[in-house]
Structure 1
């Protein structure tokens, strides 16, 4: 079109996900940004919280303490409004008959992305020299292109900041924030850590027969603990746990340590760390000197830290990796496959050594946990 600024271009890379809500899969309406940085439609978020009777981020599952105080993200609302306007303005460019939109609620404007891409058939989509096959008013096209350029620039700044954050996460040691315990943020956009990254700190602890519950038995190599068909395999002593729990012999008092537990043959379990002095009638994670992640056997994975439970999700890890950094006072759990996916992290502060700790509850005979033998 004559008179168009050759430097302007339509940002065809813009997708609906850039300004969308992952709950309703629509463009953001009254965007509400949580403290973790993720943004959703306010009504979608409130409906989800009401249905599940708990407040957490649907993306990273970070808890939202206290009553919800949702504030509008005015920049994202402005971008979404400009995107809707640009799509409506470009609709006359369609070479065919204008489709009749399906009726939608007033609070959920229709998603313009698919129509925008279709209606741009008459435009040269290169970033160098846009050309328009039809002839709407020149000033209207300039305004549309100007608004889209604003969206392009703001999102480019956002991508730049995101790239810088990704670079900061590519370190060898697992990063554990020093704030209060919480589930790890959604790291799907980051490269998960290779399991081999922990090799230099790997240990292969063995079960301690003195603390072992009377209804558990241990393999010859002391690395598999199983619920026995015959209780009271060992003579009772005050050192033994009253419930089906066990510690490892290794006392960890300094340095960094990593070990892995195979949970595939246990329907209900908890794995973590505890002090040797943990009371024998108490349960792992329910004391101030023990921490764990726990699979309840009912599609719920939880973490326990400082006698507080945090629900992590419904995915069951077949192998759990435990990272204990006693120099920094940090504990982290991973779902380990070829790569280590973060599950939960929390600070720890103790003045006594810690031991790998386990709980096989439900007392189903044959249930077992195995400490994987690692190259050390």
Structure 2
């Protein structure tokens, strides 16, 4: 073949892209399964996801042998360099978008001919959104696995807790009987006591380590959606004047609810809560919404979501159609979901961010006073519209919860 012949090849940017950073490949490395990624993106994703020496492909999840030395795929690098050079020659810049005009073939792209191979632009070390999302999924799976292991060890521990006193009494009786008959074996009498508690001690140690891992996963990792996505769904819901109990008053702007110093003269109706609770007027059955609640002026509270059909005699979180996190005045933060309580810790969030994603069917609570940190996440049913819901426990006059405007 004539080496000087240039055959146009139509390539789309996706053909030379990395699914981790969503950009052109930089120092591409190809795994044994055949998929290629930026070497630094792949190493960063593996380093953040797990400490295990065995790795898997982000595309097909096929395990790779360990240790694995990532080598640069020179052929792919040359194609990327030529593609970048072609774009610059067409005036598209170092990081162009799709080519204008109709596609020259089945997929939009550029024709590549022989060209020198300039160095590609450097990329920042920050993990892209796609990699962050995968890390979130991996750590969520690790947390679920840690919880399962804790439950398994606790179950084994409860099954192995057999009283030893009866066995010890039997041994003592047997020894006395043999001694009285003069048939006692001195080797048995002088033997060391049995270390039957060694497996139990190991089980306790394993359980302790698992609980420590579980605690670190909960406290030190933020399973949060990108902040930009939350800001797109930011709202400032207002309290509904029909649902709040007679012990509460709503501010003129509808953004604050306060325990009244004296009984209110609200007209009673079946839509009012008997307890010190309230709903917001807005109802959500689809989409993604985010709002924040200032809780620092309330000693005991719960914030979450509930359907309008929640019984007015019941408490938030104690029904199948409501979910919340609750701060108890005793210094305990809990989550209530499907009528079950999960103790979360003893740190009190002064501002709670609530992320309701009905497209994926999940609800997340964040502590957002200083920096955004996940508190709790759970699935939510999409069978009926959900309202922001609140509970101010104790009827302490002056206790208040406020919807805090989110700066977009």
TM-score (norm 2): 0.48
Secondary structure of 2:220's match? coil
Describe how 1:83-162 pairs up with structure 2 within 5 A: none
- Equivalence for 2:70: none
Secondary structure of 1:68's match? helix
Larger RCO (alpha carbons 8 Å, 6+ apart): 1
Describe how 1:339-358 pairs up with structure 2 within 5 A: 339-358=371-390
- Equivalence for 1:280: 312
What is the aligned counterpart of 2:154 among 64, 68, 77? 68
Kindly provide the CA deviation profile for residues 303-361 of structure 1, in whole angstroms up to 9, marking residues without a partner as x.
00000000000000000011111111101111113421011111111311000000001
- Equivalence for 2:340: 308
1:221 correspondence with 2:307: no
Assess if the C-alpha contact under 8 Å between 1:218 and 1:226 holds in 2: yes
CA RMSD in angstroms comes to 3.2
Assess if the C-alpha contact under 8 Å between 2:222 and 2:373 holds in 1: no
What is the aligned counterpart of 2:395 among 355, 359, 363? 363
| Partners of 2:310 and 2:347 in 1: CA distance | 29
Once the 2 structures are TM-superposed, how far is the Cα of residue 198 of structure 1 from its aligned partner? 1.7
1:326 correspondence with 2:358: yes
Between Structure 1 and Structure 2, the one with more helix by share is 2
Describe how 1:177-256 pairs up with structure 2 within 5 A: 185-186=217-218, 188=220, 198-256=230-288
Secondary structure of 2:151's match? coil
Secondary structure of 2:232's match? helix
Which consecutive residues of structure 1, in runs of 5 or more, have no partner in the other structure? 1-17, 19-34, 39-55, 72-106, 108-181
| Partners of 2:395 and 2:325 in 1: CA distance | 18
Question: Given the superposition, is the C-alpha separation of residues 257 and 191 from structure 1 closer, same or farther in structure 2, using an over 3 Å criterion?
Answer: closer
Secondary structure of 2:230's match? helix
| Partners of 1:189 and 1:269 in 2: CA distance | 25
The size of the alignment, in residue pairs, is: 215
Question: Given the superposition, is the C-alpha separation of residues 62 and 250 from structure 1 closer, same or farther in structure 2, using an over 3 Å criterion?
Answer: farther
Assess if the C-alpha contact under 8 Å between 1:284 and 1:357 holds in 2: yes
TM-score (norm 1): 0.52
Secondary structure of 1:199's match? helix
Larger Rg: 2
Which consecutive residues of structure 2, in runs of 5 or more, have no partner in the other structure? 1-50, 52-139, 158-197, 199-213
1:269 correspondence with 2:301: yes
| Partners of 2:216 and 2:380 in 1: CA distance | 16
